[in-house]
Amino acid sequence: MAEPERPRRPQLIVTRRLPAQIEARMSELFDVELSEDDLPMSAKTLAAAAARCDVLVPTITDRIDAAVIAAGSAAAGGRLRLIANFGTGVDHIDLKAARAAGVIVTNTPGVLTDDTADMTMALILSVPRRLAEGEKLVRSGKWTGWSPAAMLGHRIDGKQLGIIGMGRIGQAVARRARAFDLSIVYHNRHRLPDIVEQQLDARHEPDLDRLLAESDIVSIHCPHTPETENLIDARRLALLGRHVYLINTARGSIVDEEALIGRLERGDIAGAGLDVFAHEPAIDPRLLALDNVVLLPHMGSATIEGRDATGERVILNIRQWADGHRPRDQVFEGWV
């Protein structure tokens, strides 16, 4: 059966508030229904939205499951044709259901690489040097002045950084880390070409367990998939030495959070820098009580420049689709 003609001015529903200039541009080009309260949509609201639009523009806070996609299907009387995700990760979208329903999915890869890599380096510096603890001490009014034995942290130069996932962000982190004289070891599904390893001065470690056992700092940059769910489980966390710092700016569910909390509480690892959590925005109160953890509100990509660039890529993908072309960032099942 031939594909129905694509609307030149499609009906969009945007689930969250976007930068003002992006919303204005969308309103110029498309028929747009914008979010009014900037709150995550419920499953019922998402299904209703999918049923009455050509293009749904969700974010990571929206669970686009099979039921939502079915509500927008032609069989259900809907007209959903494109899910133009605002962001790179698509683990909140049922790709199999979308593909079966003939719904195209796009994302925005690459535009947030530097933002996330910068935040990762900020955590790599902050946790060993106890920056968050120092800031709290000053604000508390309890700081009594400089002392040669107070607030001692650890240098990072000469230490080994183990990177799990050597895609765009992992490589960007490696480039930054070399400037701080960290030695780079990485684990990835596929080894990088020799020329890239040489440029990054990075060594491939095919054995994830060995990387964990030998690294001083471990930074997670792999996508969240069924295969990486709890990839860093209790057994693997036990491989980390007492001097090791764990950094996660990827997805909270890649790490067994319960096991991580236990090891942090007991001092089995030195500390952690976390921008993502297993059940965000709910944060386990035990994490809040730990001084050896830096906690951030999933802000690794939160820059004005990054959000604007993401919005522009969403618009580009929608325009290419509406013009009858394959969108630049069309996602296929198994894209990660």
Residues 107 and 127 in one domain: no
Report percent pLDDT > 90 for the chain. Answer: 94
Domain shared by 90 and 59, yes or no: yes
Residue 5 lies in a domain: no
Same domain membership, residue 157 and residue 55: no
Q: How far is CA 189 from CA 114, 214, 226, in A?
A: 22, 19, 14
Residue 274 predicted with pLDDT over 90: yes
Mark whether 288 and 278 lie in a shared domain.
yes
Number of domains into which the chain is organized: 2
For residue 238 the two structure tokens come to 């036990």
Catalytic residue among 16, 187, 236, 251: 251
- For residue 199, is pLDDT > 80? yes
Residues constituting the chain: 336
Domain span at residue 27?
11-111+304-331
Helix (H) or strand (E) holding 327: none
Residue 3: band (very low, low, confident or very high) from pLDDT cuts 50, 70, 90: low
pLDDT of residue 2: 54
Average pLDDT over every residue of 204-225: 98
For 20-65, the pLDDT digits (tens) are 999 999 999 999 999 999 999 999 999 999 999 999 999 999 999 9
Residues 119 and 51 in one domain: no
Same domain flag for 86 and 104: yes
How many CB atoms lie under 10 A from the CB of residue 238? Answer: 13
pLDDT > 80? residue 162: yes
pLDDT tens, 300-311?
A: 999 999 999 999
pLDDT for 155 beyond 70: yes
Q: Active site includes 17? A: no
Q: Above 60 in pLDDT, residue 71?
A: yes
pLDDT at 193: 98
105 plus 119 within the same structural domain: no
Predicted pLDDT of residue 334: 40
Average pLDDT score over the chain: 95
Q: Which member of 154, 175, 191, 298 is catalytic?
A: 298
Does 336 reside within a domain? no
Catalytic residue among 280, 312, 319, 328: 280
Q: What CATH number is given to the structural domain containing 261?
A: 3.40.50.720
pLDDT at position 117: 98
DSSP symbols for 159-178: PEEEEE--SHHHHHHHHHHH
Q: Give residue 219's pLDDT band: very low, low, confident or very high (50, 70, 90).
A: very high
Query: Same domain, yes or no, for 85 and 193?
Result: no
In percent, the amount of the chain with pLDDT more than 70 equals 98
Tell me: do 178 and 221 sit in the same domain. yes
Does the pLDDT at position 270 exceed 60?
yes
Question: For position 8, what pLDDT does the model report?
Answer: 78
Question: What pLDDT score does 336 carry?
Answer: 31
Q: What is the pLDDT of residues 163-186, one digit of tens each?
A: 999 999 999 999 999 999 999 999
pLDDT given at position 156? 98
Q: What is the pLDDT of residues 72-124, one digit of tens each?
A: 998 888 999 999 999 999 999 999 999 999 999 999 999 999 999 999 999 99
**Which whole number is the average pLDDT over 235-256?**
98
| Same domain flag for 119 and 231 | yes
Is 92 part of any domain? Answer: yes
Query: For residue 1, what pLDDT is reported?
Result: 46
| pLDDT reading at 333 higher than 90 | no
Q: How confident is the model at residue 75, as a pLDDT?
A: 83
Smallest CA-to-CA distance from 29 within 330, 321, 304 is with: 321
Query: Any catalytic annotation for residue 251?
Result: yes
pLDDT at 223 over 80: yes
Edge-to-edge strand order for the sheet containing 202-204? Answer: 202-204, 183-187, 160-164, 217-220, 245-248, 271-274, 293-295
In 207-336 the beta strands, taken as DSSP E runs, fall at 217-220, 245-248, 271-274, 293-295, 330-331
Is 310 in a helix, a strand, or coil? helix
Better-scored residue on pLDDT, 248 or 6: 248
